[in-house]
Amino acid sequence: MAAPEDSLRKALADKQSKVESQGSQVRALKDRKADKSEIDAAIAALNALKLEKASIEKDLQATLSSGEGSGNKEAFRQAVSNTLERRLFYIKSFNIYGGVAGLYDYGPPGCAVKSNVLAFWRQHFVLEENMLEVDCPCVTPEVVLKASGHVEKFTDLMVKDEKTGTCYRADHLLKDFCNDKLQKDLNITAEKAKELKHILAVLDDLSPEDLGAKIKEFGIAAPDTKNPLSDPYPFNLMFQTSIGPSGLIPGYLRPETAQGIFVNFKDLYYYNGNKLPFAAAQIGQAFRNEISPRQGLLRVREFTLAEIEHFVDPEDKSHPKFREVAELEFLMFPRELQMSGESAKTLRLGESVAKGIVNNETLGYFIGRVYLFLTRLGIDKKRLRFRQHLANEMAHYAADCWDAEIESSYGWIECVGIADRSAFDLRAHTEKSGEALVAHEKYPEPREVEVLVITPVKKEIGLAFKGNQKNVIEALESMKEQEAMALKADLESKGEVEFYVCTLGKNVIVKKSMVKISKEKKKEHQRVFTPSVIEPSFGIGRIIYCLFEHTYYTRPSKAADQQLNVFGFPPLVAPIKCTVFPLVQNHQYEDVAKEISKSLTAAGVSHKIDITGTSIGKRYARTDELGVPFAITVDSTSSVTLRERDSKDQIRVDVKEAASVVKDVAEGVRSWADVWETFPHHSSASADETTTFLARICSGWTLLWWSNSQKRKNKKKKEKCICDLLVTSRLEGAEAIGTERLQKRKMLRVAGRRLSSSTAAWRSSSQTTPAFVSGGSHPLFSTNNNSDDSSSDFASRSPAPFFLNSKIPSLIRGFSSEALAPGNDIGFLSDVPATVAAAKNPSSKIVYDEYNHERYPPGDPSKRAFAYFVLTGGRFVYASLIRLLILKFVLSMSASKDVLALASLEVDLSSIEPGTTVTVKWRGKPVFIRRRTEDDIKLANSVDVQSLRDPQQDAERVTNPEWLIVVGVCTHLGCIPLPNAGDFGGWFCPCHGSHYDISGRIRKGPAPFNLEVPTYSFLAENKLLIG
């Protein structure tokens, strides 16, 4: 077992110092010209120290590789990604156009996995916990997200390349630097390694100032250009839009689904019978404009969220079903362990709640339910932990927050967040909307309670604070009892005190005459309160990607010549539960496969039939790579083989039972172990024997068919073939047509007649039943050249493949030549007439003469005119057709009337005020029309053109200096810049930070060129024609 990392780093540092000291000693010996033996001894000691240092470095590298998987994690990740994309689990969106970072499409198997995960989520949470499911729109008005705090606070810290303007997430850069140092730099000290690990542990706890200081301390530069970076600053991650054609209602694509549930609380509470606790759930798309999307499905700009809002009485957060999960034990990472630099530990959930590590039972119950959900999906228990949020990482209103983190090749990934959000959201929406989102608890009997009454004196406060009156009143009214009573005591003793107003961000002086604070006794018939919310939020895409990595493995093929990819999905989430394979292409087997398919469809089991005819091994490998857990092989009409993917065990099942067995195992009613014990086993060897037997039978019947077809040949056709061959041939060496030649022809005709007369005898001899039909020995099926056992049954023979027989090549050649030639004894095709052999094998001794041509004289020359006429007419028709096609092709390239109508656009400029910009649409693109002021024109002309990336004078870009017309498409990646924005008062592209000035020229950022100026002209003083 390798020594711990810290001790190895300390040993390496100690050895490094000894090497340096020994090196100094060697140099000193050389300087004072010591004896050669003394120098050699010092050098030998130095070399020995270097070897020891190298050994420690090797051990440290092995420790880092085994501990973090850094040696193979990138190769593993690439193998998984390649398999997922090749089998179309997911691919980049808009791939034919180069794709867009952070957007992905799910293919058929990926959609099936996602659908199965969501179906199980509904079963595990919505159905089993009796939750209320809702579905809300993705577009959310700005007022809703202002109330929730997203407009101001839904940000990530971003830094920019100061020269190119490229944006990066600040925490990602620091995280990558620390990981790189820890995994690749063996020379850092143990203390430095501990510091880097501590930074990784508290990374989310760092303020913008601390994050910027660390980036400067470590000298972190832009990854691509090594240019210096700006200080971190917040970037809002929401996609902004407008609702309606007027654009007067601002909105955003929702960053989460929870707000739709909060704003519907009143109706859901009524639907639930005005009772608490209850939970509402929603599955839907969410959108976040990530600064630097990466890591495949883990950080994307559009994703699927599944969120639960469990509303509970803030004074009673117990849960009646907590005992069901209290005994669960799993890795937990409380904040105390994180701050001390320790690792996660296995804790019992019930004990963690009892000790206060987890805030309350309801929060603990959902942590346990999340653990069960993830592990049943197929997530490895050893690579799943629950990490508690650090103090600065957690929102000020939250009581407690935990993240379910799954380890992948990218490290620990947050996949589920479980938070006690207290009553913040409902109170925020109550205050903003004026609608009371509260719950009621009726008392059995009226209760006399003491109520704190805070009455601000608005007249006094208005005279003192004027415009800030509302802020001061709200701050006074929101005081809690302890704070209010302390303020009352101070006012009575001092007459005035300093009071902090959070909305103003400062202290103000409050006098005794400005507020009255007292306690009054009142009778209450019911308690009115704002419920607290326990929120589990699931990132479905992240869970699915981690599932891909956790279930992926490879195993050698049967021949051990390659590694086969396998996704070991549990049947619960597998994209296809079962495949059906006819062993060979046989109508009977295919009919059985179709019947099984109908049964599987009726049982609701997703499946696929493969009748491609490829080898059964290849078909198994294809489905294993898709993660299909079961395969049915149809090798009989009465029973079939059922194979399990991971163990590759096979059983024999009756055809009528196959669908029900697969359904039971896929749905978890029965385990594979139960099925294995119930049904007879089937070995792969017997499958090979069956395949060989069927292949031999098919080949035998093929040969029998060929033999019968030869016997059915017409006798007259044979005689004609022989006579034509003999008549049209001549013997080699004949010099002229004379008496000798005529005699030879006569002899050949006689020979032909004699040979033809022997056809009947040849036919009768060939009708003998072939040996392989009667079970006798035949070279086609012989597995041993020395075997002559013709009495043994075919099915009991050795299963060695028949094509290994050395006699088969000559037999196959016999089908075309040698099989019909005399002297080749091939069993049932022997004694073929020699003339047929001559016809099948023309040799150099038989040539063709001009006599044959005399039997077929050329046509009559008088008929050639008609042939010429037909040919010429045909060529004319072909030429006309080609001309017509070319004309149609050329005409199709010209613009249609509707396109020509859109090619130009007339714009009325009279309504555009100086200093404003309007946007019009021309040829499908936005065009910015800005009416510039005198100051704008002066600013545009004051720029040093030579300092520009794309040098252009302002006069070159405008016809009338008052009007600037440019195409509103960023020249970097085609985004639409925002007008009246950026560092130079022109346009700003928020996608990658390109800044354009008041003349549309690129001044800062990655865009290579200025904004394009379209073709335009002024029809009149206030009439513009674009195009």
Q: What is the pLDDT of residue 861?
A: 59
Q: What is the mean pLDDT of residues 457-480?
A: 87
Give yes or no for residue 689 having a pLDDT over 60.
no
Task: List the single range of 99-103, 471-475, 738-742 with lowest mean pLDDT.
Answer: 738-742
What are the C-alpha distances in Å from 112 to residues 51, 282, 601?
A: 55, 20, 16
Sign for the pseudo-dihedral over CA of 614, 620, 625, 628: positive
Q: What is the pLDDT of residue 910?
A: 83
Residue 425: partners with Cβ closer than 8 Å, 6 or more residues away: 148, 258, 259, 262, 533
Task: List the single range of 124-138, 273-287, 415-429, 930-944 with lowest mean pLDDT.
Answer: 930-944
Task: List the single range of 285-294, 352-361, 745-754 with lowest mean pLDDT.
Answer: 745-754
**What DSSP string describes 971-984?**
TTTS--PEET-STT
Q: What percent of the chain has pLDDT over 90?
A: 37
Strand partners for 978: 988
Give the model confidence (pLDDT) of 218-248 as tens digits. Answer: 999 998 888 999 999 999 999 999 998 888 8
pLDDT bucket at 289, cuts 50 / 70 / 90: very high
Residue 121, Cα to own-chain centre: how many angstroms? 20
Q: What is the pLDDT of residue 760?
A: 40
Give the model confidence (pLDDT) of 972-981 as tens digits. Answer: 888 888 888 8
**Mean pLDDT of the chain, nearest integer:** 81
pTM of the shown model: 0.61
Q: What is the pLDDT of residue 786?
A: 37
The residue from 310, 681, 992, 995 that is catalytic is 992
Q: What is the pLDDT of residue 749?
A: 54
Give the model confidence (pLDDT) of 926-954 as tens digits. Answer: 899 999 888 888 888 888 888 888 898 98
H helix or E strand, kind and range, residue 349: helix 349-354
Q: What is the mean pLDDT of residues 170-184?
A: 86
pLDDT bucket at 466, cuts 50 / 70 / 90: confident
What are the C-alpha distances in Å from 920 to residues 809, 884, 899, 986?
A: 78, 41, 17, 17
Q: What's the token pair of residue 749?
A: 């005709």
CA distance 795 to 697: 10
CA distance 585 to 581: 10
pLDDT bucket at 842, cuts 50 / 70 / 90: low
**What DSSP string describes 236-256?**
E-PPEEEESTT--EEEEE-S-
pLDDT bucket at 677, cuts 50 / 70 / 90: very high
What are the C-alpha distances in Å from 593 to residues 579, 648, 655, 658, 715?
A: 10, 21, 9, 11, 46
Give yes or no for residue 748 having a pLDDT over 60.
no
**What DSSP string describes 881-913?**
HHHHHHHHHHHHTSPPHHHHHHS-EEEE-TTPP
Give yes or no for residue 1004 having a pLDDT over 90.
no
Which of 620, 678, 677 is CA-nearest to residue 648?
620
Q: What is the pLDDT of residue 439?
A: 95
Q: Are strands 607-609 and 578-582 parallel, antiparallel or unpaired?
A: parallel
* More confident of the two residues 153 and 715: 153
Q: Are strands 155-160 and 496-501 parallel, antiparallel or unpaired?
A: unpaired
**Helix count (H) and strand count (E) of the chain?**
35, 40
Strand order of the sheet with strand 917-922? 917-922, 925-931, 963-967
* More confident of the two residues 44 and 367: 367
Q: What percent of the chain has pLDDT over 70?
A: 80
Q: What is the mean pLDDT of residues 331-354?
A: 92
Answer for the pair 317, 532: CB distance below 8 angstroms, yes or no. yes
* More confident of the two residues 374 and 742: 374
Give the model confidence (pLDDT) of 203-218 as tens digits. Answer: 877 888 989 999 999 9
Give the model confidence (pLDDT) of 490-532 as tens digits. Answer: 998 988 999 988 878 888 999 989 999 988 888 888 889 999 9
Q: What is the pLDDT of residue 863?
A: 59
H helix or E strand, kind and range, residue 167: strand 167-169
Give yes or no for residue 713 having a pLDDT over 90.
no
Give yes or no for residue 852 having a pLDDT over 50.
no
Q: What is the pLDDT of residue 801?
A: 40
Q: What is the pLDDT of residue 709?
A: 53
Which of 516, 481, 487 is CA-nearest to residue 501?
487
Give yes or no for residue 8 having a pLDDT over 50.
yes
Q: What is the pLDDT of residue 577?
A: 95
Give the model confidence (pLDDT) of 570-599 as tens digits. Answer: 999 999 999 999 988 888 888 999 999 999
Q: How far apart are the first and last CA of the chain?
A: 76
Which of 37-46, 111-120, 666-675 is modeled with the greatest confidence? 111-120
Q: What is the pLDDT of residue 900?
A: 54
Give yes or no for residue 566 having a pLDDT over 90.
yes
- Asked if 525 is an active-site residue, the reply is no
Q: What's the token pair of residue 363?
A: 């929060």
Q: What is the pLDDT of residue 825?
A: 40
Give yes or no for residue 803 having a pLDDT over 60.
no
What are the C-alpha distances in Å from 655 to residues 578, 616, 639?
A: 15, 19, 5
Give yes or no for residue 798 having a pLDDT over 70.
no
